Amino acid sequence: MSVTIRSRQVVGFRTVRGRMLFWILAVTMPIYAGALYMSYRATAQRLEADAERDADDLAARLAAGLDAVIRPIEGGIRTVAHQLEEVDPPPVQYPQRIRGILAAWPEIYGSTVAVETRHGGANARPFAPYLYRQGAGVSYSDLARASYGYQDLPWYRRAADAGQPVWSLPYFDAGGGDIWMVTYSVPFFRKRADARRAIAGVVTADLDLNWVTARAAHVSLGPIGMGWLSSPPNPRSFVAPIGATTERLGRFAGSINEDAIRDFGEGMLQRKTTFELLPGGVTKAPTYLAARHLETLDWRLMLMVPRDELMSEARALLNRQLALGAIGLVGLIAAIMLVASGIAGPVRALAEAVGKAREGDFDLHLPEPRRRDEVGVLADALRRMRDSLQRHIDLRAASLAEQARLEHELAIAASIQQSMLPRREPGTAQLGTARIAAALRPARQVGGDLYDYFELRDGNLLFAVGDVSDKGIPAALFMARVSALLRELGGAGELPDRLLAGVNGRLADGNDAAMFVTVGCGVLDVHTGRIRYASAGHDPPLLRTLEGTVTQLTMETGPAIGIDAGVQYPLGEAFIAPGDTLVLFTDGVTEADAGDGSLFGLDRLSTVLRDAPEGEPHALVQGVVDAVAAHESAFHASDDLTVMAVGLSPSGVTARSEAGVPHWLIVPEASAAGLEQTQRCLRTILTARGVGPGRIGDAELIAEELLTNLTRAAQGQAGGIQVSLACALPPGEIALTVRDNGPAFDPLALPTPQLDGAIADREVGGLGILLVRQLADSCRYARIDGLNVLDVRLNRVTDSHGVPTNVTQDCP
Amino acid sequence: MSLKIALDEQSPLLTITLSGRLDSNTAPELDEVLNGVLTNTMITRLTFDLGQLVYLSSAGVRCFVRARKAIEPRGGNVVIVNPQPAVRKVLDIVKAIPPGGVFESVAELDAYLDHMQRKVREGT
């Protein structure tokens, strides 16, 4: 027995472990990867938000820093302008005021009060004293020079036209201090008589933006990123790097296009977005840009954060999660392996335990200890199966032992049954002058066929063949009863008809098993060759003559024995000559099956008997058994088979067949009994061949006269003479030939005795030869090879007293 | 099958009834009986009743011939009644008994004897 565990699923999964690993990892890995991705995304978004908030915070701080400087200056300048309106001092005092401004705010590089002339009065003439820092001191110049039409310049015009304070865009003062500056212009007015306000001039303050640069550089920028404070493009912009930007820029030397960044930032402000990834080409590495608009001076804050740096935290977190995940994965795999091994190991152990089981050895060593899970259930099931198998095997062993015992008993029964048969060794039995052979082949160990024969007290032979209706042990038991009854009643000298009636009477009474037996039974008169025969439902026997013809004895048959009590059986009669053989058989012969339904049949049986070289009983029986066996070939015998052959072989008689003509040679004993023996034999032969009693008497008479003559003649011979009588039956004739080795003597040459004379004159002698010549159709004498040969022939005409006594029917 | 011999002597008449076979084996038995009987010269008629005789051979015929030879010289005679066909055939062939000496039945023999006695009476 071999156990084959074969997966019908995906090829490649030879183990539970593999399948569990595959499927669990197939499910968990995407989830894990998704979780990692979500976590990374969340972290990245948080970092981006942080960066934005940092930008907002930075913008706020910068704005506060700028406002702290700018707002007081704005207030101061506006106060000056207000004072100029209220007080309206003469222009000569303007420089004094300007000095006050410069003194108040060190961030102011220079300042002027420019007088409006277009709407002024008579005293209105261009005047714009400009005081500015030079070195440690303050220099003066009047902007109202012809070459400097200040009233048309933007710093004046925009404020004058707007009628309110305006900031200029930062500009690079290339002519003055070579510095970036921005100008705050505040108009002031004069009240006119019509109560309308008329522009009187503009107060300006030029702020040196170096402080902005310094202040931006001092703003803390945080650990990453670079930022700039810049003015709106004009077209050049003032740019102040924030915090450590300048140093950090060094790392990106040559790889940053600041103008492009600024342009993109301006685009963002227009799109009102605050945080974007710079497009490719602007920077080499992906970089975020945060853009803020400061209300103060309409300035911008650009904060650039390389994504790698911003996301380093996220990456670090990702790496930590990956590491943790890897550890978790290893643990998961280990757990799967452990669980799978916990299942597969015991299952494999169970499979091996079952696989080791061999025929007859189901002592499975199932693994212990018992488990409570499905593997445990399987082990329990196997254990129960093992126990069940073991019980089954034990039962089977007991059953086999019982069977062996039964077979032993059956063998003994078969031996006993065989011992009921009269002769166990093959061959022909000689019982007196009868010769008999039989074979019984049971289909099983014991059978329901039977045969028996034994010598009766008068020397005759009783023989019987039977076939019980069933097979096996019941048939054998019934057969034993039949055998015993045949012996008992047959031994008492009953003739076959009464014998069968007696057996039937005993068996039919109380035959609850409703078994029956067909029996063919006969008594052979060994002196005359007469067979008296009765049949109880049995197949009629076949008669094979010396010359090789086979005929079936068609006799009336009675019912099978065991069915009805009180049945009579008809008695039939037949005669056999020496060399003839009566063959009895059971239906195991005729109904022997070749396996394809073709039965052996009566035709084959007749052919076997006809083709036999001689009628020797054992040879015929063996021939039939062999032919049946050959017919059945490989097919098992389904029925018991019995064949019996009965012949007659008187001493001193030999029989042979020559060209279909039977010949018998009788060598009589050299005594008075020899004549009687010879005549009896002759009578047997001729009766069996259907010769009428008159012709038989003639033949007997001829034999006597010839043999008596010779006996008388022998009395004068020393050592006697040897005589033989041959009888042959050519068609229509009876040929009797007497041979003797006495002196040459032709009895036919003797004179015919005188029959008409007086009795006193008559010779008492020669009458025998006279009788022979008168009875025979022809007589011839010859001396051949030292023998006297007298050949006498009679025709076979059946006289009025002769009717055929053999009631036979030619077999097909 | 052998020969059975039964004697019925009513002197001077003797009837011998034979049954069975009279052949070379049994003829000596009959010869012996006849030898004893034929010494009695009172017997003038010997009748063989062969109704039960089934077989007769020349040896048996010789017994009849010997009986005739013993009786006829004394003026007696031997007659045979009831021969079976097979026996009759033998008797006919060998002519051991003169014509008129064989009768098919006892009644025929009695009729013949009555006729003879009448002739004798008329003749005397």
The pLDDT tens digits of the residues spanning A645-659 come to 999 988 889 999 888
Report pLDDT for A176: 63
A596-620: average pLDDT: 89
Residue B122 has pLDDT above 80, yes or no: no
Model ipTM? 0.84
CB-CB under 8 Å, A675 with B25: yes
- Residues 754 to 773 of A: which have CB under 8 A from any B CB? 755-756, 759-760, 762, 764-765, 767-768, 770-771
For A380-391, the pLDDT digits (tens) are 888 888 888 889
The pair of three-digit structure tokens given for residue B97, joined into one six-digit string: 């008994």
Question: With respect to CATH, is domain B3-123 assigned 3.30.750.24?
Answer: yes
Q: How much of chain A, in percent, has pLDDT values that exceed 70?
A: 90
Residue A588 belongs to domain with CATH number: 3.60.40.10
Report pLDDT for A534: 94
Residue A501 has pLDDT above 90, yes or no: yes
Residue A582 has pLDDT above 90, yes or no: yes
- Which of A704, A759, A770 is nearest residue B23 as measured by Cβ atoms? A704
Residue A747 belongs to domain with CATH number: 3.30.565.10
Interface test with A, best of B38, B68, B93, B97 (most A CBs within 10 A): B93
A516-527: average pLDDT: 92
Report pLDDT for A69: 86
CB-CB under 8 Å, B62 with A764: yes
Structural domain including A706 reads 655-810
Q: How much of chain B, in percent, has pLDDT values that exceed 90?
A: 18
CB-CB under 8 Å, A768 with B72: no
A148-160: average pLDDT: 83
Sorted by sequence, the CB contacts under 8 Å of residue A534 that are 6+ apart come out as A495, A496, A497, A499, A500, A520, A521, A522, A555, A558, A569, A570, A571, A572
Distances in Å between the alpha carbon of B107 and those of B65, B82, B118? 24, 10, 16
Residues A740, A597 share a domain: no
**Residue A243 falls inside a structural domain:** no
Query: Could you give the CA distance from residue A706 to residue A418 in angstroms, rounded to a whole number?
Result: 51
A550: left (phi over 0), alpha (psi -120 to 50) or beta: beta
Which residues in chain A have their CB less than 8 angstroms from residue B75's CB? Answer: none
Q: DSSP for B24-36, please give it.
A: TTTHHHHHHHHHH
Which residues in chain A have their CB less than 8 angstroms from residue B22's CB? Answer: none
Report pLDDT for A353: 77
Query: By C-alpha distance, which of A664, A643, A647 is closest to A526?
Result: A647
At residue A757 the predicted structure's pLDDT band, cuts being 50, 70 and 90, is low
Q: From A208, A241, A260, give the residue that closes a domain.
A: A208
A522-534: average pLDDT: 93
* Gap from A766 CA to chain B (nearest CA, Å): 9
CB environment A711-720: b (16+ within 10 A), e (fewer):
bebbeeeeee
Report pLDDT for A305: 84
Count of all residues that appear for chain A in the document = 812
Angle among Cα A52, A56, A57 to the nearest 5 degrees reads 115
Cα A799 to chain center, whole Å? 86
Domain boundaries in chain B? 3-123
CB-CB under 8 Å, B62 with A770: no
Residues A769, A795 share a domain: yes
Query: Could you give the CA distance from residue A114 to residue A155 in angstroms, rounded to a whole number?
Result: 10
CB-CB under 8 Å, B90 with A708: no
At residue A568 the predicted structure's pLDDT band, cuts being 50, 70 and 90, is very high
Report pLDDT for A801: 38
- Which of A705, A760, A801 is nearest residue B69 as measured by Cβ atoms? A760
Sorted by sequence, the CB contacts under 8 Å of residue A428 that are 6+ apart come out as A435, A436, A437, A616, A617, A618
Sorted by sequence, the CB contacts under 8 Å of residue A213 that are 6+ apart come out as A180, A240, A241
CB-CB under 8 Å, A755 with B58: no
Query: Could you give the CA distance from residue A367 to residue A353 in angstroms, rounded to a whole number?
Result: 8
Report pLDDT for A1: 44
Sorted by sequence, the CB contacts under 8 Å of residue A569 that are 6+ apart come out as A496, A497, A498, A500, A501, A504, A534, A535, A536, A557, A558
**Residue A249 falls inside a structural domain:** no
Q: B115 or A572: whose pLDDT is higher? A: A572
SS3 for A294?
coil
Query: Could you give the CA distance from residue A437 to residue A621 in angstroms, rounded to a whole number?
Result: 7
At residue A676 the predicted structure's pLDDT band, cuts being 50, 70 and 90, is confident
A249-257: average pLDDT: 71
Residue A206 has pLDDT above 80, yes or no: yes
Residue B119 has pLDDT above 60, yes or no: yes
Residues A670, A644 share a domain: no
Asked if A14 reaches chain B (Cβ–Cβ under 8 Å), the answer is: no
Residues A540, A671 share a domain: no
Query: Could you give the CA distance from residue A302 to residue A287 in angstroms, rounded to a whole number?
Result: 12
At residue A360 the predicted structure's pLDDT band, cuts being 50, 70 and 90, is low
Report pLDDT for A243: 84
Beta-bridge mates of residue A664: A655, A727
B35-50: average pLDDT: 83
Q: Report the half-sphere exposure of A785 (CA within 13 A, side-chain side).
A: 1
The pair of three-digit structure tokens given for residue A670, joined into one six-digit string: 């050299």
A260-272: average pLDDT: 85
Beta-bridge mates of residue A779: A792
Number of domains composing chain A: 3
| Number of H-type helices and E-type strands within chain B | 4, 5
**Residue A46 falls inside a structural domain:** no
SS3 for A550?
strand
CB-CB under 8 Å, A759 with B86: no
Residue A641 has pLDDT above 50, yes or no: yes
What chain B residue is nearest to A698 in terms of C-alpha separation?
A: B86
Angle among Cα A156, A162, A167 to the nearest 5 degrees reads 60
SS3 for A532?
strand
Report pLDDT for B124: 53
Residue A802 has pLDDT above 50, yes or no: no
Which residues in chain B have their CB less than 8 angstroms from residue A767's CB? Answer: 58, 61-62, 94, 96
For A403-445, the pLDDT digits (tens) are 999 889 888 888 888 888 886 567 888 888 899 999 988 877 7
Cα A468 to chain center, whole Å? 49
The pair of three-digit structure tokens given for residue A336, joined into one six-digit string: 């799967």
For B74-101, the pLDDT digits (tens) are 888 888 998 988 888 888 888 877 777 7
Residues A569, A538 share a domain: yes
A141-159: average pLDDT: 80
Residue A96 belongs to domain with CATH number: 3.30.450.20
Asked if omega into A235 is within 30° of 0 (cis), the reply is: yes
Report pLDDT for A719: 66
Which residues in chain B have their CB less than 8 angstroms from residue A771's CB? Answer: 57-58, 90, 93-94
Query: Could you give the CA distance from residue A106 to residue B24 in angstroms, rounded to a whole number?
Result: 199
* Gap from A533 CA to chain B (nearest CA, Å): 24
Q: Give the H/E segment covering residue A781.
A: strand A778-784
CB-CB under 8 Å, B57 with A704: yes
**Residue A454 falls inside a structural domain:** yes
Q: For residue B73, how many other CB atoms are within 10 A of its CB?
A: 10
What chain A residue is nearest to B64 in terms of C-alpha separation?
A: A764
- Residues 670 to 699 of A: which have CB under 8 A from any B CB? 672, 675-676, 693-694, 697-698
Q: From A649, A677, A712, give the residue that closes a domain.
A: A649
CB-CB under 8 Å, B23 with A771: no
Cα dihedral A609, A613, A617, A618 in deg (nearest 10): -100
Q: Report the half-sphere exposure of A71 (CA within 13 A, side-chain side).
A: 8
For A70-109, the pLDDT digits (tens) are 888 999 999 998 888 888 888 888 888 899 888 888 888 8
At residue A804 the predicted structure's pLDDT band, cuts being 50, 70 and 90, is very low
